[in-house]
Amino acid sequence: MKWVRFSQPGYRKGQSAFGLLDGENIRPTDHSWQDVLAGKPLAANSGSIPLAEVTLLAPTGHPGKIVCVGLNYRDHCRETNTPVPERPLLFAKFTTAITHPGSDIIWSASLTNEVDFEAELAVIIGHRCRQVSEADALTYVAGYAAANDVSARDIQMGDGQWVRGKSLDTFCPLGPVLVTADEIPDPQALAIRSLLNGQVMQDSHTSEMIFSVANLIAFCSQAFTLEPGDLILTGTPHGVGLGRDPRVYMQDGDIIVVEIERIGRLENRCRIIRD
């Protein structure tokens, strides 16, 4: 199934709602995907709403945490001349960074001038997960979405640690759908790419991951509990602006797209605030 979260002025007074994507229509549901995983029956309403008439929202709302993985693609390590890590390199993004499909990525020119794109496969945890094995790890996954780990490189590198430069408001576009895990039995078999103003920048495959999705879940769960709705952003492949010569950073009005096979297309416009 493909879950969406949406708003529409004529439905539930414009409050956010959940539904199932059915072609170019949404079938609203009485429960969210979290409710269904918790055992409530799936009840899709008989009517449908055209996709073109709604505003899509990030499919998870605000999770408890966003766990990110650095340097998890072999091709990205090669382009940055970085040794392949021996274990996953984890960092966090604040949940207030999440923004919606089609929404603007916004930053102040007085704060950063080096804003980069990072196409990533997002894993949405479906069940409480603590000290699980790699063999069992995928059974804890609710589904997958496309994400953009937007990064202010000047802040990231200047601070010496990554949280602030990764966590500016709107710096985690997510969506447009949550594809349930049963539709993606092998998350290491997906093409992934990004396009900046229509030009392909990143073009890779999740088989290039150094640490698989199952390995990442198991690794994280040995250190801390993963709760339903938590996100794991699994790293980005080669082609980011930082790795290019000359470097390419996003500018005001740019359109950045993340596409992941079997999941869909996440598109956002950039907007710079000039004080």
Residue 21, domain CATH: 2.30.30.370
- Boundary residue ending a domain (20, 39, 57): 57
Write the pLDDT tens digit of every residue in 40-95.
988 777 789 999 999 999 999 889 999 999 999 998 888 888 888 999 999 999 99
What is the predicted pLDDT for the residue at 77? Answer: 85
Co-location of 39 and 88 in the same domain: no
Co-location of 19 and 87 in the same domain: no
Q: What percent of the chain has pLDDT over 90?
A: 87
What is the predicted pLDDT for the residue at 173? Answer: 98
Co-location of 70 and 184 in the same domain: yes
The pLDDT mean for the chain works out to 95
- Mean pLDDT (whole number) for 189-218: 98
Co-location of 214 and 248 in the same domain: yes
Co-location of 228 and 262 in the same domain: yes
What is the predicted pLDDT for the residue at 81? Answer: 82
CA distances 259 to 27, 40, 137, 189, 267, Å, are 24, 32, 25, 14, 9
Q: With bands split at pLDDT 50, 70 and 90, how would you rate the model's confidence at 265? A: very high
Domain that holds residue 39: 2-57
- Boundary residue ending a domain (12, 38, 57): 57
Co-location of 95 and 222 in the same domain: yes
Co-location of 156 and 25 in the same domain: no
Instruction: Kindly state the tokens that stand for 6.
Output: 């949406």
Write the pLDDT tens digit of every residue in 133-178.
999 999 999 999 999 999 999 999 999 899 999 999 999 999 999 9
Co-location of 122 and 21 in the same domain: no
| φ, ψ for residue 247, nearest 5 deg | -65, 150
What is the predicted pLDDT for the residue at 12? Answer: 86
Count of domains forming the chain:
2
Co-location of 222 and 139 in the same domain: yes
What is the predicted pLDDT for the residue at 82? Answer: 84
Co-location of 167 and 241 in the same domain: yes
Report the CATH number that the domain containing residue 107 is assigned in CATH: 3.90.850.10
Q: How many CB atoms lie within 10 A of CB 89?
A: 16
Instruction: Kindly state the tokens that stand for 244.
Output: 């290019």
CA distance 239 to 80: 10
Nearest to 60 by CA among 176, 163, 156: 176
Co-location of 105 and 195 in the same domain: yes
**Of 197 and 46, which is predicted with more confidence?**
197
Co-location of 89 and 167 in the same domain: yes
- Boundary residue ending a domain (57, 75, 94): 57
